[in-house]
């Protein structure tokens, strides 16, 4: 290779490395090394495992890449002719035993540590039955629906009691696609697989935690976020009582409009789907029910399992947009 070409190749390679290294840091922002701050016992254990594995992979990265760079420099061709062959080596028993045994020990250490941590991640701590709440989490294209023990419903915003075990049933609906429920601060990812229920839990102090869909589920996957608002028990009780007593109210309807319809629709312009402002369907109970339950040409059946009250709630909010000239 002529030296000019070699220099250009080396320069391109070096700049690519710098760009990669800088881009990763810039993209991460202040996201930090760990997936969020742990605020639940299972999330703490996941972080422990994360750090334990990272120590080994970090050491291996430095050793392997360090040796690679050192050998590239030490054994470079220099002034030898391009056709000169290197020394022919056949086997090194000691080296071969070493590079078999060391990885086995490393994998055994990582495996043992993770298995030791696993029960505390998967199993909720025992608690008095009275202190336990189970919230059902349904993954829909493209929103999260939460059902509480008294039948109350919320969309994209889970309210949960603080400092007690909250069980989560992550439900995959038969007619929907795969989603994955992930609240990084409160534990690991749990897939919502059609036809299955995956169980997980958390126990967290008062706070608002970000949830994401961690499985590519379609065109609006990236916007399928939610929050988990952990509040004192009394506040949680009063929220679900109000919601259940007013199950067809405007408050839920607004959540449905913003969390479900607005995933793909706007009032005044075409978005993923057509503009909806002035559409008489927004005040037509029968028409909208049919659309929600069966879907449209491209629209999934976003409300197939909604209760009558949920549909009433949507209409209570959207009827204001059914007349021409409505904006919002
Ligand atoms: Cu739901 Cu991605």
Does the pLDDT at position 275 exceed 80? yes
Q: Work out the pLDDT band at 30, boundaries 50, 70, 90.
A: low
Q: Is 215 in the pocket of ligand 1 (CB under 6 A)?
A: yes
Pairing of strands 190-192, 197-202: unpaired
Q: Work out the pLDDT band at 9, boundaries 50, 70, 90.
A: confident
With contact defined as beta carbons under 8 Å apart, do 192 and 139 qualify?
yes
Q: How far is the CA of 140 from the centre of ligand 1 (A)?
A: 8
What is the C-alpha to C-alpha distance for residues 176 and 193, in angstroms, rounded to an integer?
Answer: 9
pLDDT, tens digit (0-9, with 9 covering 90-100), for 65-95: 999 999 999 988 888 888 888 888 888 999 9
pLDDT, tens digit (0-9, with 9 covering 90-100), for 298-321: 899 999 999 999 999 999 999 999
Q: How far is the CA of 185 from the centre of ligand 1 (A)?
A: 19
Q: Is 139 in the pocket of ligand 1 (CB under 6 A)?
A: yes
Calculate what percentage of the chain has a pLDDT beyond 90: 71
Q: How far is the CA of 57 from the centre of ligand 1 (A)?
A: 30
Q: How far is the CA of 134 from the centre of ligand 1 (A)?
A: 22
pLDDT, tens digit (0-9, with 9 covering 90-100), for 105-144: 999 999 999 999 999 998 888 766 666 799 999 999 999 9
Best mean pLDDT range from 214-218, 243-247, 272-276, 279-283: 214-218
Residue 114: Cβ-neighbour burial (10 angstroms; 0-12, 13-18, 19+): middle
137-153: average pLDDT:
96
Does the pLDDT at position 170 exceed 60? yes
Q: Is 212 in the pocket of ligand 1 (CB under 6 A)?
A: no
7-22: average pLDDT:
84
The CA-CA-CA angle for residues 202, 207, 211, to 5°, reads 60
Q: From residue 193, give the alpha-carbon distance in Å to each of 137, 139, 196, 300.
A: 12, 9, 6, 17
Calculate what percentage of the chain has a pLDDT beyond 70: 94
290-297: average pLDDT:
92
Q: How far is the CA of 91 from the centre of ligand 1 (A)?
A: 51
Q: Is 265 in the pocket of ligand 1 (CB under 6 A)?
A: no
With contact defined as beta carbons under 8 Å apart, do 144 and 137 qualify?
yes
- φ/ψ region of 220 (left if φ > 0, alpha if ψ in -120 to 50, else beta) reads alpha
Task: Write the residue with the smallest CA distance to atom 1 of ligand 1.
Answer: 179
Q: Which helix (H) or strand (E) holds 128?
A: none
Q: How far is the CA of 302 from the centre of ligand 1 (A)?
A: 13
What is the dihedral sign for C-alpha 177, 178, 182, 187?
Answer: positive
Question: Which residues touch 33 (CB under 8 Å, ≥6 apart)?
Answer: 54
Nearest-atom index, ligand 1, CA of 139: 1
- pLDDT on residue 8: 83
Nearest-atom index, ligand 1, CA of 215: 2
Q: Is 217 in the pocket of ligand 1 (CB under 6 A)?
A: yes
4 phi and psi, to 5 degrees? -65, -45
Q: From residue 158, give the alpha-carbon distance in Å to each of 98, 200, 208, 253.
A: 52, 15, 10, 16
Q: Is 179 in the pocket of ligand 1 (CB under 6 A)?
A: yes
Q: Is 261 in the pocket of ligand 1 (CB under 6 A)?
A: no
253-269: average pLDDT:
93
Q: Work out the pLDDT band at 28, boundaries 50, 70, 90.
A: low
Query: What pTM does this model have?
Result: 0.83
3-state secondary structure 25-41: HHHHCCCCCCCCCCCCH
Which one has a higher pLDDT value, 125 or 234? 234
Q: Is 224 in the pocket of ligand 1 (CB under 6 A)?
A: yes
Any alpha helices (H) in the chain, and if so which ranges?
A: 3-28, 41-74, 93-122, 233-245, 250-259, 285-294, 308-318
Q: Is 213 in the pocket of ligand 1 (CB under 6 A)?
A: yes
Q: How far is the CA of 213 from the centre of ligand 1 (A)?
A: 4
With contact defined as beta carbons under 8 Å apart, do 188 and 47 qualify?
no
């Amino acid at each position: 290779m002529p030296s000019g070409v070699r220099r250009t190749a080396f320069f391109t390679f070096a700049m690519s490395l710098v760009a990669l290294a800088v881009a990763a840091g810039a993209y991460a922002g202040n996201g930090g090394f760990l997936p969020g701050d742990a605020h639940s016992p299972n999330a703490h254990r996941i972080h422990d495992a994360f750090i334990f594995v990272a120590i080994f992979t970090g050491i291996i990265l430095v050793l392997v890449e360090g040796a690679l760079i050192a050998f590239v420099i030490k054994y470079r061709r220099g002034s030898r002719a391009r056709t000169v062959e290197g020394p022919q080596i056949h086997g090194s028993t000691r080296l071969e035993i070493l590079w078999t045994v060391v990885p086995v020990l490393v994998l055994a250490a990582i495996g043992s540590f993770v298995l030791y941590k696993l029960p505390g991640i998967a199993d909720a701590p025992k608690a008095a039955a009275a202190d336990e709440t189970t919230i059902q989490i349904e993954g829909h294209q493209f929103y999260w629906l939460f059902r509480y023990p008294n039948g109350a419903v919320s969309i994209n915003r889970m309210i949960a009691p603080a400092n007690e075990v909250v069980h989560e049933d992550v439900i995959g609906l038969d007619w929907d696609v795969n989603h994955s429920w992930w609240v990084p601060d409160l534990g690991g990812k749990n897939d919502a697989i059609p036809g299955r229920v995956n169980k997980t839990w958390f126990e967290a102090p008062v706070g608002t935690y970000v949830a994401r869909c961690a499985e590519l589920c379609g065109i609006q996957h990236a916007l399928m976020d939610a929050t988990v608002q952990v509040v004192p028990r009394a506040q949680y009780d009063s929220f679900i009582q109000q919601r259940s007593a007013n199950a067809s109210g405007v408050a839920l309807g607004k959540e449905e409009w913003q969390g479900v319809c607005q995933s793909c629709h706007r009032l005044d312009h075409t978005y993923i789907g057509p503009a909806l402002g002035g559409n008489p369907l927004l005040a037509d109970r029968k028409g909208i029910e049919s659309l929600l339950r069966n879907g449209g040409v491209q629209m999934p059946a976003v409300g197939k399992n909604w209760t009558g009250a949920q549909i009433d709630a949507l209409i209570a909010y959207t009827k204001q947009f059914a007349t021409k000239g409505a904006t919002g």
